[in-house]
Amino acid sequence: MAKVAETSPPPAMNFNIPVKVTMLVQVIVCFGIIASTVSITRSVVQSNVAKLNANLGHLHRPSGQVKSNPASAPNSTAVISNSTLTANATVPSHTEELDYTKLHGYIISNKERRYNSSKVVLDKLGLVSHQHVPLSYKSDAIRKAMEDFHVGNQRYLTDRYKKVFSNRMAFAHLFQDFFDDPKAAPASWRFFFEDDVALHPSLTKALAQKVLARGLEVAAGDGILYLGICGPNRCEKKTVVLSSPVEAMRCAGACTHAFGLTKWKTGGLLAYMDKLKTPNNVNVSVMYFDQLLRTYGEQVHRIWVLGSNLKSPQMNNHYGLVYQDRTNYPSVIMSKEPKQ
Ligand SMILES: *[C@@H]1O[C@H](CO)[C@@H](O)[C@H](O)[C@H]1NC(C)=O
Ligand SMILES: *[C@@H]1O[C@H](CO)[C@@H](O)[C@H](O)[C@H]1NC(C)=O
Ligand SMILES: *[C@@H]1O[C@H](CO)[C@@H](O)[C@H](O)[C@H]1NC(C)=O
Ligand SMILES: *[C@@H]1O[C@H](CO)[C@@H](O)[C@H](O)[C@H]1NC(C)=O
Ligand SMILES: *[C@@H]1O[C@H](CO)[C@@H](O)[C@H](O)[C@H]1NC(C)=O
């Protein structure tokens, strides 16, 4: 896998993609915001996505808040205001002693058993695993960040949404960490996981790694890819064979249990992450990172799905190299009181 990390970028990766960057500026926010650790009742959220789409116009670029950092992120509108991201620096940095010849994956988990099990998947993919313990949903930092996010509105301060927000903050911290790492090259990739993942049964370790290596080349110009997706839709017709028989295709969809970003893309996504407030006429769907990523895929550009022809053995309409193992690891957000 070391080879993958060192592969020189194909021409598409030169960041000279003004159109994309401009669009990012408009929709970026939508991206960062949230994370569903785990999918929640999709159907509830689903109906709100249309509203979210209709309201993206609210997400304009706030003047004076954004500064670029050309040294570390060419052309990305990198930024980073720190309000919700640094709400108390209790979150350790993971980047201190990284081996930059390897690919790294971050598993958001506060349960050792689930982390261990997800790590097995990353091992097979050839990724170095890191556990990222999210801020407790009961913490003061989460409550304050949510109050800020919702402009003082208290109605979302329920355990369930706090868990959603904790997950969002965990992704935000990991993105920030990546973006701030001066040793990470702009075109380098990192991977982000929730702790309920499993590798598709048809993949051997060798094939999984081959597919991933090829996928990174295919998606280099986008700077983002899914290793697994729920309910893919609006897929582009073109498919690419990554390594027979495994294919990739660009789609939009839900679930953020397994995805990858380049550093330059991360900078763009973070840019407005803590700028989005819930517009008055849109509700909670904006709190779910995976729904925002779905919107991003629909509105900005479709996102490569590695293993787009590999169907989850558990769920209809879930595809990818990595699927959510709901049988063994039920959603944390849905549970009433997660065991800490
Ligand atoms: C992107 O950056 C490269 C070099 O860093 C520069 O030559 C190019 O003009 C930039 N493109 C845009 C759209 O800013
Ligand atoms: C980030 O937070 C620190 C401490 O809370 C504050 O001193 C600093 O001004 C903030 N920076 C920005 C860009 O908001
Ligand atoms: C997780 O893995 C570590 C290291 O292999 C091991 O020491 C620990 O006992 C495992 N924990 C659980 C709960 O399986
Ligand atoms: C951060 O911690 C300090 C003291 O430990 C506390 O006073 C402050 O309110 C906290 N900030 C947030 C955003 O939680
Ligand atoms: C969100 O919007 C949907 C559809 O308009 C509505 O059914 C639901 O009650 C709303 N939820 C909240 C928490 O406002």
Residue-wise pLDDT for 213-223, tens only, equals 999 999 999 99
Of the two residues 152 and 56, the one the predictor is more confident about is 152
Which residue minimizes the CA distance to atom 6 of ligand 1?
Answer: 16
Which residue minimizes the CA distance to atom 13 of ligand 1?
Answer: 18
Q: What is the DSSP letter of 329?
A: S
Q: Which segments of the chain does DSSP mark as H helices, in order?
A: 2-6, 18-32, 42-54, 112-125, 140-149, 159-180, 205-218, 263-270, 289-299
Q: What is the whole-number distance in angstroms between the Cα of residue 157 and the centre of ligand 5?
A: 16
Q: What is the DSSP letter of 230?
A: E
Torsion of CA 54, 77, 289, 181, to 10 degrees: 180
Of the two residues 250 and 282, the one the predictor is more confident about is 250
Q: Which of the residue ranges 76-80, 90-94, 317-321 has the most confident prediction, judged by mean pLDDT? A: 317-321
Mutate to test the pocket of ligand 5, among 41, 45, 48 (most ligand atoms within 8 A of CB): 48
Q: What is the whole-number distance in angstroms between the Cα of residue 10 and the centre of ligand 5?
A: 45
pTM, rounded to two decimals: 0.69
Q: Give the ligand with the smallest distance to the CA of 278.
A: 5
Q: Where do we find the tokens 């609006």?
A: 234
The confidence band for 78, taking pLDDT boundaries of 50, 70 and 90, is: very low
Q: What is the whole-number distance in angstroms between the Cα of residue 60 and the centre of ligand 4?
A: 30
As given in the structure block, the two tokens for residue 215 are 């996928």
C-alpha–C-alpha distance, residues 102 and 116, integer Å: 20
C-alpha–C-alpha distance, residues 215 and 211, integer Å: 6
Q: Do residues 241 and 271 lie in contact, with contact meaning Cβ atoms separated by under 8 Å?
A: no
- Distances in Å between the alpha carbon of 72 and those of 64, 263, 280? 20, 9, 36
Summarize pLDDT for 35-44 with one digit per residue, the tens.
Answer: 322 233 233 3
Q: What is the whole-number distance in angstroms between the Cα of residue 87 and the centre of ligand 4?
A: 7
Cα dihedral sign for 51, 56, 57, 58?
Answer: positive
The confidence band for 224, taking pLDDT boundaries of 50, 70 and 90, is: very high
Which residue minimizes the CA distance to atom 12 of ligand 3?
Answer: 113
Number of residues in the chain: 340
Residues facing 224 on adjacent strands: 261
Q: Is 19 a residue whose pLDDT tops 90?
A: no
Q: What is the whole-number distance in angstroms between the Cα of residue 161 and the centre of ligand 5?
A: 14
Summarize pLDDT for 187-215 with one digit per residue, the tens.
Answer: 999 999 999 999 999 999 999 999 999 99
The confidence band for 185, taking pLDDT boundaries of 50, 70 and 90, is: very high
The confidence band for 153, taking pLDDT boundaries of 50, 70 and 90, is: confident
The correct CATH number of 66-324 out of 3.90.550, 3.20.170, 3.40.50, 1.50.10 is 3.90.550
Q: Closest ligand 3 atom to the C-alpha of 111?
A: 13
- Ligand 1 in contact with 14 (CB < 6 A)? no
Q: Do residues 51 and 296 lie in contact, with contact meaning Cβ atoms separated by under 8 Å?
A: no
Q: What is the whole-number distance in angstroms between the Cα of residue 47 and the centre of ligand 5?
A: 8
- Distances in Å between the alpha carbon of 279 and those of 83, 108, 166? 19, 28, 20
Residues facing 194 on adjacent strands: 108
